[in-house]
């Protein structure tokens, strides 16, 4: 209404998020945090006994909920590890050259949940995705399966997730985002919510997007957007959030030459 352009740098951390998700898959699949704990406690026989229950990645399936840039980046990392990859998205009928190229099968969400050994979320938080993985859908997951969430905590019913982790229905979770834990508050302290106290959980405080490289990209991209506007031009089209806006001051179309000076 006020003719203000809103811009962002949408893909600044795609690589970091994909690395983080794959790291959680590998740590959970081999139960490395638990084995390290047993090592430091001298429980060597128990570590060997429990390791006999693990399965090789090449016999497991990764299910991606959402099929955007981060999901595609995870797929490109997971396939060389031997994982079979399936995915779901809102419009399954929409063609996906990337899915065809990578051999990813597109399936309904409930089908994915019943088939996948790892379920990884790659969705924005919206009215349509809030609580998407509710108690009923979490119960569809295989016994012993793992949930990875580096998207938004409120996509999942975290109380139901906590119960299924503590009961052993789910084998574990890798969580980087939370709805029930205040990560960015003024005070800090050890979290006590049961969604992170289960021994089978790997939890990180919303850091999957962060690195020296992603920080540089988002800072540079933000400044470049400002440079465009201050020179009387629109920012790059893919970095405009409200693309239908009519600027309050007339702006020329985006000119890449502005960013080459």
- For the annotated catalytic residues, the residue numbers are 152, 188, 206
The residue to which tokens 């999957």 are assigned: 208
First to last CA, the chain: 33
Tell me which residue of 115, 190, 193, 126 sits closest to 158, measured CA to CA. 193
Cβ contact 157:138 at 8 Å? yes
Tokens at residue 216, please?
A: 């540089």
Rounded to the nearest angstrom, the gap between the alpha carbon of residue 78 and the centroid of all alpha carbons in its chain is 14
The residue to which tokens 């985006």 are assigned: 254
Cβ contact 178:158 at 8 Å? yes
Where residue 254 falls (left for φ over 0; alpha for ψ -120 to 50; beta otherwise) is beta
């Amino acid at each position: 209404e006020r003719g203000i352009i809103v811009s962002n740098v949408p893909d600044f951390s795609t690589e970091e998020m994909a690395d983080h998700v794959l790291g959680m898959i590998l740590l959970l699949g081999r139960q490395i945090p638990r084995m390290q704990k047993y090592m430091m406690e001298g429980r060597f026989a128990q570590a060997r006994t429990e390791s006999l229950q693990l399965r090789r990645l090449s016999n497991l399936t990764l299910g991606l909920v959402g099929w955007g840039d981060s999901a595609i980046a995870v797929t490109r990392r997971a396939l060389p590890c031997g994982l079979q990859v399936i995915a779901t998205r809102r419009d399954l009928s929409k063609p996906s050259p990337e899915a065809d190229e990578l051999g990813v099968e597109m399936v309904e969400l409930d089908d994915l949940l019943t088939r996948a050994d790892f379920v990884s979320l790659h969705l924005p938080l919206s009215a349509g995705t809030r609580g998407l993985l509710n108690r009923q859908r979490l119960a569809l997951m295989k016994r012993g399966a793992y949930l990875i969430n580096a998207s938004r905590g409120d996509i999942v019913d975290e109380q139901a997730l906590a119960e299924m982790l503590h009961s052993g229905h789910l084998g574990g979770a890798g969580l980087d985002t939370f709805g029930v834990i205040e990560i960015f508050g003024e005070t800090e302290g050890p979290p006590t919510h049961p969604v992170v106290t289960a021994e089978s959980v790997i939890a990180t405080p919303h850091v999957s997007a962060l690195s020296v490289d992603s920080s540089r990209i988002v800072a540079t991209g933000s400044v470049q957007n400002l440079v465009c506007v201050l020179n009387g031009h629109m920012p790059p089209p893919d970095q405009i959030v409200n693309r239908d806006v009519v600027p309050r001051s007339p702006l020329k179309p985006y000119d890449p030459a502005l960013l080459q000076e």
